[in-house]
Structure formats: structure tokens, C-alpha cells
Amino acid sequence: TTRFRAQRMELAVNALARLDDHVLGTMQPAQPRSASFTVYQALSRESAANPLLQARVRIACLDAARFRPRPIPDYLLQEIAKT
């Protein structure tokens, strides 16, 4: 069985949301490697171009029984590459 965990996370908080703000989230997977990939995320006010928050998250693929790195299954790498 395969598990995934956040290996590294970098956050940049550019501004704070206000009560009743409509916030939109985006996510873009990138940089697939054999046992990890990166996800770029952003939260923005619906009416603004500049993001409130930006994140870069490194996701590691682990063997569920041993919690050791393992290759990402091919079918998942193909899905990551499509986006």
C-alpha cells in the first residue's frame, strides 16, 4: 500500500482574508520525480489578482508498511503529468 506525506512546505502570507471574503484556491502539481512531486497552491480573494497566500509543498511517496520512500506508481505519475 502507498501513502503520501508532506515532506517540505514553504508558505508566503501576502495578506489576510477578511470575514465574508470569497476566497478561491488553486493547486498545480509539478516537478514529478520517482518518489516525490511538488504542489504549488495559492489562495486569492475572488475580486483580486494578487494571492493572499502561496505555498510550495513537496509530497513524498511512502511504503505504508515500512514508512520508507518508494517509487510513485506509474498510473499516478501519468495523472500528475496531465495537470
Quote the pTM value: 0.83
Task: Give dist(CA 67, CA 56) in Å, integer.
Answer: 23
Task: Give dist(CA 72, CA 43) in Å, integer.
Answer: 27
Per-residue pLDDT in tens (0 to 9) along the chain, 83 residues: 899 999 999 999 999 999 999 999 999 999 889 999 999 999 999 888 899 999 999 999 999 999 999 999 999 988 888 87
